[in-house]
Amino acid sequence: MAWRLPCVLIALACASPADAGGAALEVRGADGTLAVHRPIDEGVRWCLVWNHSVAGFAVHDCFAWSGGQLVLEHSHQPDFAAGLGHIPGRGVMHSDGAGGYRIEHIDQPIAGNALRLRVGSAAVDHRIAIDGEVHSLSRTLAGRAAVMRIVEP
């Protein structure tokens, strides 16, 4: 029993501010498997990226944590492939200058701060891109239901 006290003190001393109670971006499988847990600050932005299952190009849906709300801000889609496109009244579509398009100003709050998705295979490679880091969801959750959410203390 005497060895437990120093371990607890070390864990407390090494905890980051986010570990001590800040918000975090988290992606978990429906069975609870953790794929991503990343501390975030207010205003941080990231993209859910995946390779289109037919055309193979990368699609980006980009989110922010703003005012205590998970928000879909914009999307980048290199083509009008199956399942993609602009919904009139939902953001503003602009050319990306390379044959694709960006849908900006979507600014859609995500209900309950949780986005449900089915993670694709390694070929689809669902991933989170944030601050120069890339976290593969397909590596741990391929073919399974998952939830991307913000967790707060």
CA distances from 134 to 36, 98, 126 (A): 10, 24, 10
Distance, CA of 27 to CA of 123 (rounded, Å)? 19
Distance, CA of 111 to CA of 40 (rounded, Å)? 19
Neighbours of 9 (CB within 10 A): 10
pLDDT the model gives residue 94: 81
The pLDDT tens digits for 63-73 are: 999 999 999 99
Q: What angle do CA 114, 30, 40 make, to 5 degrees?
A: 40
| Domain assignments of the chain as residue spans, ordered by start | 23-151
> Which pTM value belongs to this model?
0.77
Neighbours of 24 (CB within 10 A): 17
Among 23, 63, 17, 16, which Cα is nearest to 42's? 23
The pLDDT tens digits for 92-127 are: 778 778 877 788 888 889 999 999 999 999 999 999
